[in-house]
Amino acid sequence: MRHIWILILFFSTPLFCQEDLSLGFSVGISNYQGDLTPQGISSFGRTSPTGALFLRILHSDFFNTRLNIQYGTVEAHDADGGPGRVSRNLSFKSHIWEAALIEEVNLLGFHPGTRRFFSPYLFGGVAVFHFNPTTEYLGQVVELQPLGTEGQGIPGYSGKYSLFQVAIPIGGGLKLGLGKDATLSIEVGGRKLFTDYLDDVSGPYADSRVLLKGNGPLSAALGNRMGEYYNSDPVNTPGAPRGNPKYQDWYFFSTVSLAFALDGDGSLFGRNMRIIPCFKF
């Protein structure tokens, strides 16, 4: 956790001074990769829409800092997978709210209205996000984290995972200047997570009898849903693989964005005042 705070301090430093700013929005698609993707970690879950608002701080032609607020949805269903996946019969959907501080590196230099009106860029940063995996059961939407479907919260098992987590955004894109004061960007980025429970699936099956006694009948029913798939009595396979804890989950945003300068001839709010001098890269 100490290293996370160091990253936050490093990327937050430019926010203490006021440089050229732009305000923008983005729209696109979100995806998930993890234990419930149809072909394992080499594939993605279902595609959902995403959107964001952001403030970009323009230090120089090569370095920008972006404060990004993003919303997206991720989901996956074993029903979309092959024979080995379908019978497991698990599914999840989660709404994600993310606040991120991102550093952009314009590889060719970028300055709309000049010859540097186009550039590919790379980005990295730190983010905090909230998620809450749910599933459908008997026609109802059920929140999974409170149920402890892998025994969380029961003595001898791990505690329940937090719904607030830290992530590392990484990715890249292309920027195109539209005149002097507007920028169009196309971006693809992933989030390296430090949790394997974005989908509520990670380790082995817990004993259904232990789940029933410790976390209740709904936990036992959703901890192992193979009996539901086979239309049979409940199946109990304690210790058998339910997920793969070796790999953490990921989520991805692919977006198109439009940003407008907050200073300049064609800006939204007129000339911006620099209150504190800032270093240049």
Q: Is residue 182 in a domain?
A: yes
pLDDT for the residue numbered 261: 93
Q: Does 21 fall in a domain?
A: yes
Contacts 24+ apart (CB under 8 A), 263-268: 263/20, 263/21, 264/180, 264/181, 265/180, 265/181, 266/179, 266/180, 266/181, 266/182, 267/181, 268/23
Residue 89 lies in a domain: yes
pLDDT in tens, 51-85: 999 999 999 999 999 999 999 999 999 999 887 78
> What is the β-pairing status of strands 91-106 and 48-58?
unpaired
Q: Which of 21-35, 39-53, 120-134, 171-185 has the lowest mean pLDDT?
A: 39-53
Determine what percent of the chain is predicted with pLDDT higher than 90.
Answer: 80
Distance from the first to the final alpha carbon of the chain: 28
Q: What is the CATH number of the domain that holds 44?
A: 2.40.160.20
**Which residue segment(s) compose the domain that 114 sits in?**
2-133+159-196+249-261
Whether the predicted pLDDT of 277 surpasses 90: no
**Number of independent structural domains in the chain:** 1
> Residue 52 falls within a domain, yes or no?
yes
Predicted TM-score (pTM) of this structure: 0.86
For 11: left if phi > 0, alpha if psi spans -120 to 50, otherwise beta; the answer is alpha
140: buried, middle or exposed (CB in 10 Å: 19+, 13-18, 0-12)?
A: exposed
Q: Is residue 27 part of a domain?
A: yes
Confirm whether 273 is domain-assigned.
no
The answer, yes or no, to whether residue 266 has pLDDT greater than 60, is no
Q: What's the pLDDT score for residue 276?
A: 39
User: Quick one: pLDDT band at residue 38, thresholds 50, 70, 90?
Assistant: confident
Would 216 be classed as within a structural domain?
A: no
Q: What is the spatial distance between Cα 236 and Cα 254, in angstroms, rounded to a whole number? A: 40
88 occurs within a structural domain: yes
Per-residue model confidence (pLDDT) at position 232: 93
